[in-house]
Amino acid sequence: MDEEIRTMARMILDARHVVVFTGAGVSVESGIPDFRSPGGIWERFDPDEFDYGAF
């Protein structure tokens, strides 16, 4: 396990760009509204426009 952690750390350090996908809990804790709650993103945007078929 330690070697895997070191390998991942090296990959992150060597990368030009890093993307991290997290769940809604992280964004909400940071003050970013989620999609479904009152005042959330789907109140401002039509979710059908973000369906893969729309692209």
From first to last of its 55 residues, what are the pLDDT tens digits of the chain? Answer: 899 999 999 999 999 999 988 776 777 777 777 788 887 888 888 888 888 887 7
Q: Who contacts 35 (Cβ-Cβ below 8 Å, separation ≥6)?
A: 24, 41, 42, 47
40 assigned to some structural domain: yes
- Give the angle 25-43-51 at the CA atoms, nearest 5°: 80
pLDDT value at position 24?
66
1 assigned to some structural domain: no
- Give the angle 40-53-34 at the CA atoms, nearest 5°: 15
Total tally of structural domains belonging to the chain = 1
52 assigned to some structural domain: yes
44 assigned to some structural domain: yes
Query: Mapping DSSP to helix (H, G, I), strand (E, B) and coil, where does residue 45 land?
Result: coil
